[in-house]
Chains A and B, each alone.
Chain A
Amino acid sequence: MLHIKCPYCGMRSQNEFSYGGDASVKRPELNKEISDQEWDSFVYNRKSLRGKHLELWQHLSGCRQWIKVERDTATHEIFNTHKADEEIS
């Protein structure tokens, strides 16, 4: 079982979280002309890398906050967790 450190509540079991997918995907900016291709990429296309992956999780059965998790998709090791609005370099 994964143990995820919620930045608000501390270390909790995977059972309390739900998954929200790739956190590096950015929604095209509002009020800007965008091509179908850009919209397509945002909605459907994912890199889904093997190795380090930045992803969204929600602490659904806890504080209900969305968080960002850096996790290895091959070993399931979790390197770091961040608040959703934190910029990660």
Chain B
Amino acid sequence: MQKYSIFNLVKNAFSNHENWDLAWKDPTPKEEYDVVIIGGGGHGLATAYYLAKEHNITKVAIIEKGWIGGGNVGRNTTIIRSNYMHDENALFSEFGMDLWRKMSQDLNYNVMFSPRGIINLAHSDAQMNAYARRGNSMRLNGIDAVLLNREQVKEIIPMADFSENVRFPIFGGLMQPSAGTARHDAVAWGYARQADSMGVDIIQNCEVTGFDVTAGKINGIRTSRGNIKTKKVGLCVAGSTNMLAEKLNMTLPIETHLLQACVSEPVKPILDRVVTFGAGHFYISQSDKGEMVMGGDLDGYNSYAQRGNLPTLQHVLTEGIAMMPFLSKLKMLRTWGGIMDMSMDGSPIIDKTHIDGLYLNCGWCYGGFKATPASGWTFAHTIAQDRVHELNAGFSLNRFSTGHLIDEKGLGTKTWIS
């Protein structure tokens, strides 16, 4: 594989950049693999990369129905954070933060990781108390957290509405300075390029149509491009998990929902942090191109449509304008939607299943992108060793029947509860 460096950039400039290697190949599926990962999104690509890198398993195929980077890894709002209160989520995400910090070097691909900090705004004394508690829990787990008062918040984001008579005045906020954003497409491409260079077959435009399961063991999969034999299959298809589960006669604690995001026209730099509105569900950051990147609530009903509906967008942007009135002057550039696995407690599932050789990675709700490296790392471990790692032990499938829910916010599919 060609290394990306300033020297190679200069060298290739002499040939008008026409002689760069392809970032990854387009192989035809082989008859058999040691591991097949279904889903060529961020998590699937990361899983294949860590299988090869950490466990020396390189006879791996990634089966992708569409194309690399066309699903949720290219549709999210690129936020990376580990500001969780519960140990399972906190330790897992903080492990991921470390992988994020090293990612560009590790992948030899600039993922533009920008640790600009995230501020969750508080709009009442009670919310300040709740944030103080969450911040303390975070610090106990070694995560940076700073409780800001109103004046401190005002210094950082003076463009927010600090006037006296607003419905939801800003009392303060909880900040995680090490949180941030990254270029989401680059994350997919970087993992794909490295996985490919280590021998992983990335098979695009290939739909999984069925599974060969005999005597409780997985023996292979059926696809639109032929049958593939394998003893281990990892599902990384958040958004389509229920569809594949149906083919396996499994019913999961997951509903498939639609989440929208949007960007405004590009403007000059005004916001250098990620900010969330505490009296509803709205988050915003500014991209390197200058667009304001915004998102919020689910559309609220089961959906597989990768496009949104206007009432929710209007609701979300109303919150945005309440928080930062200048947004009302901007024109909308693009809106889009992605389909989410909404688990019943709002936390993910990375686990083995009752079928031998079938591993499950799903239920990412709103937070799939930031989990990409940690999810890939722990899922690769779970598949390679046939046992869960302590980092994903809490994300078990049977926690719903045993009562060990990880109810970070006390809501999963039922957004109306909040």
Contact of A46 among B253, B301, B304, B309 (CB under 8 A): B253
Q: How far is the CB of B305 from chain A (nearest CB, A)?
A: 6
**Do A47 and B242 touch across chains, with their CB atoms under 8 A apart?**
yes
- CB within 8 Å: A-B pair count: 70
State the main secondary structure of chain A at its contact with B.
Answer: mixed
In the complex, the answer to whether B253 meets A76 with C-beta atoms within 8 Å is no
Of A26-34, A36-44, A79-87, the stretch lying at the interface with chain B is A36-44
Given the interface pairs A36-B401, A73-B256, the reply to whether A45 lies near B304 with Cβ below 8 Å is: no
Nearest chain A CB to B2 CB, angstrom units:
41
Please give, as numbers and ranges, the residues of chain A lying within 8 Å of B254 by CB-CB distance: 46, 48
Considering the complex, which residues of chain B in the window 366-418 have a beta carbon less than 8 Å from any beta carbon of chain A? 400-401, 413-414, 416
Using known A-B contacts A18-B416, A40-B400, A46-B253, determine if residue A1 contacts B309 with beta carbons closer than 8 Å.
Answer: yes
Q: Are B304 and A74 in contact (CB under 8 A)?
A: yes
Residues in B with CB closer than 8 Å to A48 are: 242, 254-256, 302
A62 interface residue per 8 A CB criterion: no
> 0/1 per residue, B288-321, Cβ < 8 Å to A?
0000000000001111110001110000000000
Look across to chain B and name the residue whose beta carbon is closest to the beta carbon of A39: B401
Does B251 lie within 8 Å of A41, measured CB to CB? Answer: yes
User: Is B301 touching A19 in the complex (CB atoms < 8 A)?
Assistant: yes
**A35-88 with Cβ < 8 A to chain B:** 36-37, 40-41, 43-50, 53, 55, 71, 73-76
Instruction: Decide: B302 and A53 in contact? CB cutoff 8 A.
Output: yes
**Chain A residues in 8 Å Cβ range of B414:** 21
Contact at A73–B302, with CB atoms within 8 Å? yes
Q: Which residues of B contact A22 (CB under 8 A)?
A: 255, 302
Please give me the residue from chain A that is nearest to B303 by CB atom. A73
- Complex-state Cα separation, A75 to B307, whole angstroms: 10
For A75, give its contact among B246, B255, B305 (CB under 8 Å).
B305
Given contacts A48-B302, A73-B304, A21 and B255 within 8 Å (CB-CB) = yes
Q: Are A46 and B401 in contact (CB under 8 A)?
A: no
Bound-complex Cα distance A44 to B413 (A): 10
List of B residues within 8 angstroms of A45 by Cβ: 251-253, 400
Cα–Cα, bound, A25→B12 (Å): 61
**A43: which B residues are within 8 A, CB to CB?**
344, 400
B256 surroundings in chain A (CB, below 8 A): 48, 50, 73
Smallest Cβ-Cβ distance to B400: which chain A residue: A44
Q: With A48-B302, A49-B242, A53-B302 as given contacts, are A1 and B251 in contact (CB-CB < 8 Å)?
A: no
B310-355 interface with A by 8 A CB criterion: 310-311, 344
Min CB–CB distance A69 → chain B (angstroms): 9
Pairwise interchain contact A50-B304, C-beta atoms closer than 8 A: yes
Contact across chains for B255 and A76 when beta carbons are under 8 A apart: no
A21 engages B304 (CB within 8 Å):
no
Given A18-B416, A47-B246, does the pair A74, B251 have CB atoms closer than 8 Å? no
What residues on A are CB-neighbors of B302 within 8 Å?
21-22, 48, 53, 55, 73
The answer to whether A44 and B344 touch across the interface, beta carbons within 8 angstroms, is yes
Verify if B243 is at the interface (C-beta below 8 Å from A): yes
Docked Cα-Cα span, A27 to B253, in Å, equals 16
Could you give 9 example pairs across A and B, Cβ below 8 Å?
A1-B309, A14-B311, A19-B416, A21-B413, A46-B254, A48-B256, A50-B304, A73-B256, A76-B303
Given contacts A1-B311, A41-B251, A48-B255, 5 further A-B contacts (CB under 8 A): A2-B309, A18-B416, A46-B251, A46-B253, A48-B242
4 residue pairs, one from A and one from B, having the closest CB atoms = A44-B253, A48-B242, A40-B401, A45-B251
